[in-house]
Amino acid sequence: MAIKFQYNKTALQGLDKQLKVRERALPTLKNKESALRVEVKRAKDKAAELEDDYNRQIASFENMSRLWGEFDQSLVRIKDVELSSKKIAGVFTPVLENIIFETNTANLFNQPVWFPDGMSIIKKIAEIAIEREVFLKKMDLLDFARKKTTQKVNLYEKVQIPGFQDAIRKIKRFLEDQDNLSKSAQKIVKDRQEKQRQEAEV
């Protein structure tokens, strides 16, 4: 990214101001990036742990697969999932507060005796699956923010800060050269005037 500037003191002050803003923001951005990286890993690990737990639960009831064919699906269903949000390193992430199940126990009396246990099993598996989804969403949101922050860090560190420093250096050199030329010109004029004065006296 080429930084556009003019060779004058106003441009120099403006660039210097923008450079300082970026130099001050860079450490904060780097801290945010590393905090987000840690949180992404934490959410990913938790989602993987819940995935394993979910698979274990499913595997443990596989020997009952024939019985599940008899299970009345209308006995239990998810009515609502209550979420709140928590800010992590400036990013709003979902937090699972509660899962509300709706149970239909009216016709449980003429069902097999294991159905209440079946309802508990389904609730438990559903809770694990929903919690896993919440952590996957959290991971996605944090990872998106981390990528954006990494892009900004790279933009500041590798493009803008060196660009501003280079532009400031060029302007300073130009102004110094202009100042030197001006002083040299003044000296030449002064020397010429002195020479003319001496010639006039002779």
Give pLDDT tens digits along the chain (202 positions). 577 888 888 888 999 999 999 999 999 999 999 999 999 999 999 999 999 999 998 888 777 766 666 777 777 889 999 999 999 988 999 999 999 998 887 766 677 777 778 888 889 999 999 999 999 999 999 999 999 999 999 999 999 999 999 999 998 999 888 888 888 888 888 878 877 777 777 6
- Using only C-alpha atoms, what is the Rg of the chain? 36
Question: For position 117, what pLDDT does the model report?
Answer: 81
Question: Is 198 inside any structural domain?
Answer: no
pTM for the model stands at 0.76
Alpha carbon dihedral 128, 133, 136, 138, in 10-degree steps, equals -100
Question: Is 171 inside any structural domain?
Answer: yes
Question: Is 201 inside any structural domain?
Answer: no
Question: Is 2 inside any structural domain?
Answer: no
What residues make up the domain containing 137?
9-193
Question: For position 108, what pLDDT does the model report?
Answer: 67
Question: For position 202, what pLDDT does the model report?
Answer: 64
CATH of the domain at 165: 1.10.287.3240
Question: Is 185 inside any structural domain?
Answer: yes
Question: For position 155, what pLDDT does the model report?
Answer: 94
CA–CA distance from 46 to each of 32, 50, 95, 177 (Å)? 21, 6, 13, 62
Question: Is 188 inside any structural domain?
Answer: yes
Question: Is 4 inside any structural domain?
Answer: no
Q: Show the 3-state SS of the chain.
A: CCCCCCCCHHHHHHHHHHHHHHHHHHHHHHHHHHHHHHHHHHHHHHHHHHHHHHHHHHHHCHHHHHHHCCCCHHHEEEEEEEEEEEEECCEEEEEEEEEEEEECCCCCCCCCCCHHHHHHHHHHHHHHHHHHHHHHHHHHHHHHHHHHHHHHHHHHHHHHHHHHHHHHHHHHHHHHHHHHHHHHHHHHHHHHHHHHHHHHHC
Provide the 10 A C-beta neighbour count for residue 142. Answer: 24
Number of domains in the chain: 1
Which residues have CB under 8 Å from 108's CB, separation 6+? 75, 115, 116
Q: How many residues are given for the chain?
A: 202
Question: Is 121 inside any structural domain?
Answer: yes
Provide the 10 A C-beta neighbour count for residue 50. Answer: 20
